[in-house]
A and B are shown apart, each in its own frame.
Chain A
C-alpha cells in the first residue's frame, strides 16, 4: 500500500492538520509515506515535511500554483496518483483541501470519505470512522477499491516530529485550461495574533452570554494566558461581534483541541457538533439548564464576567507569566 498526503501550507508554513494526517499515515505502517506540496517557491517546505514523517516529498513548484485554488491542484495531483500508482490519498480538511479532494474523486472515479476522525487497517482493508447525524452515531466506512481518498476532521491527529531527510521529487505541473479560469483577485488576511483555531491545543470560545462585543476582551485575555486561540458561536458572528474565521459549529469549523473553554455559550446542537470531540470541555454559563452542561467535563454555573478574569489571573500566576 502506498499513501500520499496533501500538504497544505499558508504563509510559508505547512498546516498542522496536514502534518497530523502525515503522522497518522506513517503510523499505519505503509511501505512508504509520501507528501505532496503544490505552490510557488515552496521547495524549502519539503525538508519540513520530512521531519514530520514524509519519506518522499513530491513538489509541484509553479507560479500558476501560487494562489490557493483547487482546480490546478486536482490536475497535478491526479497525474501524480496515476503515474506513481498511489492507492491512498489523505487530506486534513480545510476549504481548499475539500475542493481538491472532491475534484480528485470525480477525476479518478475514486471513493471519497469525509469528516473522518480515524483510520485503521482491519484484515488488510482500510476502515474510516465518521461521526454522523450530529455525532450521535459513529459509522465505519470503507472503499471498494483504489484509489481511496479521505478527508479528516481538523484536530484528529497530532503531528509527530522525528523523521529525517526526505527524498524530494519535482513534479511537472500539467494544468488544464479550465482549471486556470478561476483566478485570485485579492488574497486577503484577517489580522490575527496567536494560533488559528484549527491549529490550537487550547480554545477559549465566547457566546451571547458575554453580553456585548467588548465582552470578548476577557475571552481573549484568557486565551492568551493559556496560549490558545479564540473561537465564537454562530450567534455572535452573525451579530458582528467576532469574525467568521473564528466560528465553531455546524456552519463554521469543527475543532477538537485538548481543552475547550466555553464562556457564555448555551451549547445548542449547532455549536455542539463543532466542538464535542474536544478532549476536555469546561463550560461557564449562568443558566443551570444550558445544554452545554450535558457534555462538559466541568460545568460552572456562574457569571462569566466574574469568573473568567479571575481564572486568567490564576492561570498567569500558575504559569509564572
Chain B
C-alpha cells in the first residue's frame, strides 16, 4: 500500500499519509469547476471519517464595499461576483431594489414586457451556463476524457453541437444584455435600450435548431453510466404556480415550508467554518439542504412545458430525481425548457401591438429609504439578496447568499457517502469519482466566496 501511495503521490499530486491504517486523499486544485477549491478526505480502517470541501478562493468582500455605493450601481457591481452567471446577480439586485422604490402607476403592458424580457435574458444565461457545464465540465467525466478538447478529437460533432448551443445562449444575453459577460443593459427598473426588430428576428431564427439540439443533448446524456446513489435531499427552490421559476415565486422546501424571500433569514442561517472561505448555509439550526436544477425540478415539474415532460420521461426520469449524478439530465431538460420559453416569449413579444424595439423601456421609479429582498434562480440554484438603502439611494448594507455556499454542506455530505460506497477503489479511481460528485453540483467557487482541490487522507 505504501508503495502504491508513494507512486500516486508522484503521479497525481495528491499527498498521502499511511499510518495506523489511515489514508488521506487530497486534491489540491479541483479542475473543471469555476473557481478555486480543494477536497480533503480522511479514511480510517476503510471508514470515511471526514470529508471537507475547502474553498480557498480568496474573499472579495462584496458585502463590505457595497455600503456607500449608489443603489443604481448594484446590478453592475454584483455582476462582477461571477463571470459565469452575472445575469443572476443582476436579476436578484434589480428585483430587491425595485421592492424598495415606489412605483408610479405604470401601463400593465410595460410591466409585463419587462417581466417577459427579463425571463428571456435569464434563459440565455441558463443555456450558456448549463451547456458549459454539460459539455465542457461534466460530460468528460462520464466518458473518460480529461476535457472537451480531447472529447472533440473522437466526437467532434457532439462538441460542436455543444459549442453552437452555448453560442446561442450567449447571443440571447448579448441581444438583450449588450454583452455576454457582465451585461450592461440591465437597470433598476428595466432595460437601457431594447434590441432592434432585425436583431430579435435573427435570434428567433436560431431557436428552432436550439430546441432540436437540446433534445439531442438530453438523449445523449441520458445514455451515460450513472453511479447508483440516491439521497433523501431537502430540496429548496423557488416555486411559482404558473411558470417554471426564474425571477419570481416563494421559497419552498421539500419539508413543507413556503416563505417569501423577505423571511429567508428567519429560516436559513450562514455559518463560518475554519476550513473554508465560503460561508456554509443551513436550514434551521443544522439541516443541510439542496439548491439547483434537481430542487427546481422537484418543486416545479408540473409547470414544465409538455415537450420537457415527454423528454424527461423518455430519458427515464420520474417527476423527481434523487441521484445527483443524474443532475446532468435535469440540466439538459432545463436547457430544453429555456429554449421553449425563450421562443414563446420572443414570438409573443414580437407579435405584440406595443412598440418596444430599439428604445429604452423602464419603470418610472422614485427612490426612498427601505429594505428590499429578492430571490431568483441562478443556473446553480437559489440566489438571495438583501439591501438597505437611504432616502438618497445610498446603499447602507448588503447581504448576498449565493447557491454554492448553500450547497457546500450537502456536497460534503455526498463526498463522504460516495467515498464510503467506493472505499475499496484505489486512490486514483476514488479521487476521480469524488471529483465527479462535486461537479454534480456545478459549484461556482467564485460566487461562494464572496471556492476546489481534492485531499483524501486514509488512515
Q: Is chain B a partner of chain A in the same complex? A: no
Q: What residues of chain B have their CB less than 8 Å away from a CB belonging to chain A?
A: none
